[in-house]
Amino acid sequence: MCAKYRRVFVVVFDLHMNSYTEDNQIISHFQRKLFASIKSKYQVKDIGFAWVREMEKAKQQHYHYALFLDGKQIRHPDTLLDVIQEKWMFAGGGHVYTPKNCYTMILKNDFEAKQQVIYRLSYQAKERGKGYRAPQAKDYSTSRLKP
């Protein structure tokens, strides 16, 4: 995303489920609806994302999710978080958890800001909580945007 835009807006949140599912169809459905809304509302062309599926002590999985958007089009997450909550509920999910300081703006040449986002997202890469799924379900997915 930094190769495409001068400013990249990054927002992180967690998606909690009401019940366990064998697959990730709910996240696919959520993502289709969310991306259509974002493209329409904010006039963005490209959307970057990364999500991981985890299941630890709870009986149902949850997802850690990060969105990467054109920072020229969006600069604050309030309205976006409302859209995320609406689309997650529409998809059949549970609640959305938004951590403190859930968003960051990365300027194209700001190495330190990039490192801070990488550090924050490194939590998603932890091994604990992964692998508790059916063989057909993935533990994670990311966007594959071309520069």
pLDDT tens per residue across span 5-55: 999 999 999 999 999 888 999 999 999 999 999 999 999 999 999 999 988
Domain count along the chain: 1
Q: Could you tell me if residue 1 is inside a domain? A: no
pTM for the whole thing? 0.89
Q: Could you tell me if residue 71 is inside a domain? A: yes
45-83: pLDDT as tens digits:
999 999 999 887 778 888 999 999 999 999 899 999 999
pLDDT at 91: 93
The boundaries of the domain holding residue 84 are 7-142
Helix and strand counts by DSSP (H, E) for the chain: 3, 6
pLDDT at 83: 96
Is the pLDDT at 103 greater than 90? The verdict is: yes
Long-range contacts of 2-6 (CB under 8 A, 24+ apart): 2/106, 2/108, 2/114, 3/147, 4/46, 4/70, 4/145, 4/147, 5/70, 5/71, 5/72, 5/108, 6/71, 6/72, 6/107, 6/108
Q: Could you tell me if residue 2 is inside a domain? A: no
pLDDT at 80: 96
Q: Could you tell me if residue 26 is inside a domain? A: yes
The residue count for the chain:
147
Q: Could you tell me if residue 117 is inside a domain? A: yes
Is the pLDDT at 95 greater than 80? The verdict is: yes
How many other CB atoms sit within 10 Å of the CB of residue 119?
9
Q: Could you tell me if residue 147 is inside a domain? A: no
119-141: pLDDT as tens digits:
888 877 766 666 656 677 788 88
Read off the CATH number of the domain in which 135 is found. Answer: 3.30.70.1130
